[in-house]
Amino acid sequence: MHIDQLAISTQPRNSWKAFDLGCRMAFRWWKPLYGFMLLVTLPFFIALNFISTEYGMFLLWLLKPWFERGLLYIYSREVFGQRVTISETLKAWPSQIKPLWLASITWLRLSPSRAFNVPVAQLEGLTGERRASRLRVLHQTNDNNTGWWTVICAHWEFFIILGLVAMINMLLPETVELNLFDEFGTLMTDYALWYNTLWYIAMVAVAPLYVGGSFAAYLNRRILLEGWDIELNFKKMKQAASDKKQGVVALLVLCFLGFTTPDTKALSLQEEQSADVIEENDTPSEEEEETPARHTEINEALQDVFNSPPFSEKETYKDWRWTGWKWEFEEDKDKEKPDMSGWLAFFAMLAKFSEVILWVVFTLLLGAILWLSREHISRLLNYRLPKRDKVDLPSFSRSYKKSTLPRNIPDELEKLLQESAYRQALSLLLVSSLIQLHQKYALPLKESMTESECLACITEEADSESSQFMGQLIDTWVKLAWAHQWPASEQMQHLVELWQGLFGKVARGESI
């Protein structure tokens, strides 16, 4: 690391000026930063949303520290005058992830100062106790606002999402009855992909600013602790003195070359005169004899000046200031040091046990996410999941002739409506709706249930919208089955549309 090649000023700053410097660095080197961020994160975003729109973005958020390692690699080279391309960053990215690769996406993921702490492991290569000691030194300041910087960048992402939602709402035609603010923050399948895309745009936009501000704060702390500005000033003074000395030497050489060969007589005369001077200088002068006494008088005069006002005035100021944890205790030299080997072994065993527990928790969490996304994964891999337990449907709903649900229920309903087979259509609506409600709310259905008992069970367990639809459906079924009152085609079409809005994704090919 050559600090004389720094592309930024080494002037000491407070933390907020350092964050501002990081944002300016992001604007200056935006091409490699945003190019790398898009090339790396876009494939993950597409793949994880294919797997699950509900939980895919959580995994992308969890892996975000890995993407930030590449941004830090670009900053660490560009700030010292080394140009970095996107291809070079992509090649170096896997090696940059290795330090603390698991910790960065697990227990260190929620650290508010994680981007400030990453350079210690990634750039300095410190681990274990050396890393912890280094972080204590870097954080031991009253101007530590790295946690607030994380909060600010999180709010930036939120404001960008709100702005994009507002812009989309303003650009929608008045004939479209859609307000994205009404569905904001929900996990509805119809809009989850849109909100995921907006969050991805906000994440890509803010990440270089967040990493740049944190890295600038890290450099600022090193400037203050290691005196980079002082070192650079000394180097400049040395270089200036060296240039001046070289100029004097060159001038002397030119002057020497301008003279002719000196006369031998003049040289002998000069030697005799210099010998006489040396003999005279061998005897000490009166000024040299008086030098120690003169120094004593000067010191006494200076001491009198310091003891007189205003130099003799002293003032004491008291203020509260955090100086860090002081865990050092005075040791008694006569007292023997206790044997801590047993405790060290215990804590080492506890650390190993904690590591196993963390791995188990991580594995369970990953398994839970995969289990909740099993239907999306099965559709992506074109694999049919094993059939679920057969639902014990009430006997009144079993007028549908087939033993399994058709693979395309909307087409089957449309076919039955064209054939005016309203009894079969109502039975198919009842069966598919009851299966979906049973899977969602675990309805205690029985084969002996009547229409009213089934409706009461649904009203008690299901949501109001599903209960209202089932009330209309069962009422139409009762009028057809018992009173022989055939429903109008418009009423049947309305029931089919309501069913598609509520249960359009019911499992197909399931046994009745």
Check residue 281 and give its pLDDT.
Answer: 47
Count Cβ neighbours within 10 Å for each residue of 101-131 and write b for 16 or more, e otherwise.
eeebbbebeebebbbbbbbbbbbeebeeeeb
Q: Give, in order, the Cα–Cα distances in Å from 264 to each of 222, 268, 404.
A: 64, 6, 127
Higher pLDDT, 8 or 210: 210
**Within a domain: 36:** yes
Check residue 509 and give its pLDDT.
Answer: 42
If one counts every other C-beta atom within 10 angstroms of the C-beta of residue 331, the result is: 8
Tens-place pLDDT, residues 191-212: 788 889 999 999 999 999 999 9
**Within a domain: 213:** yes
Higher pLDDT, 397 or 224: 224
**Within a domain: 379:** no
Statement: residue 401 has pLDDT above 90: no
Question: Where does the pLDDT of residue 256 fall: very low under 50, low under 70, confident under 90, or very high at 90 and above?
Answer: low
What are φ and ψ of residue 349, in 5° steps?
-65, -40
Tens-place pLDDT, residues 31-56: 999 999 999 999 999 999 888 888 88
Instruction: Report whether the peptide linkage leading into residue 65 is cis, meaning its omega lies within 30 degrees of zero.
Output: no
Check residue 277 and give its pLDDT.
Answer: 40
The lowest-confidence range among 18-27, 134-143, 279-288 is 279-288
User: Residue for token digits 């039955």?
Assistant: 416
Check residue 33 and give its pLDDT.
Answer: 96
**Within a domain: 388:** no
Q: Residues 463-491: what's their mean pLDDT? A: 84
Tens-place pLDDT, residues 269-289: 454 554 444 444 445 455 445
Question: Where does the pLDDT of residue 138 fall: very low under 50, low under 70, confident under 90, or very high at 90 and above?
Answer: very high
Statement: residue 508 has pLDDT above 50: no
Check residue 282 and give its pLDDT.
Answer: 47
Higher pLDDT, 400 or 73: 73
Q: Which domain holds residue 170?
A: 3-232
Q: Residues 217-226: what's their mean pLDDT? A: 90
**Within a domain: 324:** no
Higher pLDDT, 325 or 359: 359
Most confident segment among 252-266, 356-370, 414-428: 356-370
Statement: residue 373 has pLDDT above 70: yes
Q: Residues 504-512: what's their mean pLDDT? A: 48
CA distance 103 to 105: 6
Check residue 504 and give its pLDDT.
Answer: 65
Statement: residue 107 has pLDDT above 70: yes
3-state secondary structure of 324: coil
Higher pLDDT, 78 or 375: 78
Question: Where does the pLDDT of residue 398 fall: very low under 50, low under 70, confident under 90, or very high at 90 and above?
Answer: low
Tens-place pLDDT, residues 160-170: 998 998 888 88
Q: Residues 219-232: what's their mean pLDDT? A: 82
Question: Where does the pLDDT of residue 327 fall: very low under 50, low under 70, confident under 90, or very high at 90 and above?
Answer: low
* Residue that finishes a domain, picked among 190, 208, 232: 232
Average pLDDT, the chain: 79
Q: Residues 229-237: what's their mean pLDDT? A: 66
Statement: residue 64 has pLDDT above 80: yes
**Within a domain: 318:** no
Q: Is 400 exposed, middle or buried, given 0-12, 13-18 or 19+ CB atoms closer than 10 A?
A: buried
Question: Where does the pLDDT of residue 69 fall: very low under 50, low under 70, confident under 90, or very high at 90 and above?
Answer: very high
- Closest alpha carbon to 105 in 60, 74, 172, 169: 60
* Residue that finishes a domain, picked among 232, 262, 280: 232
Statement: residue 423 has pLDDT above 90: no
Question: Where does the pLDDT of residue 95 fall: very low under 50, low under 70, confident under 90, or very high at 90 and above?
Answer: very high
Alpha carbon 339 to chain centroid distance? 43
Note the residue count of the chain. 512
Check residue 20 and give its pLDDT.
Answer: 95
The lowest-confidence range among 32-46, 300-314, 343-357, 361-375 is 300-314
The lowest-confidence range among 56-70, 113-127, 171-185, 221-235 is 171-185
Helical packing angle, 189-226 and 15-28, nearest 10°: 120
* Residue that finishes a domain, picked among 198, 232, 266: 232
Higher pLDDT, 282 or 466: 466
If one counts every other C-beta atom within 10 angstroms of the C-beta of residue 479, the result is: 13
Statement: residue 507 has pLDDT above 50: no
**Within a domain: 510:** no
Q: Is 406 exposed, middle or buried, given 0-12, 13-18 or 19+ CB atoms closer than 10 A?
A: middle
- 8 Å CB contact between 18 and 145: no
Percentage, residues of the chain above pLDDT 90? 30
**Within a domain: 343:** no
**Count of structural domains, the chain:** 2
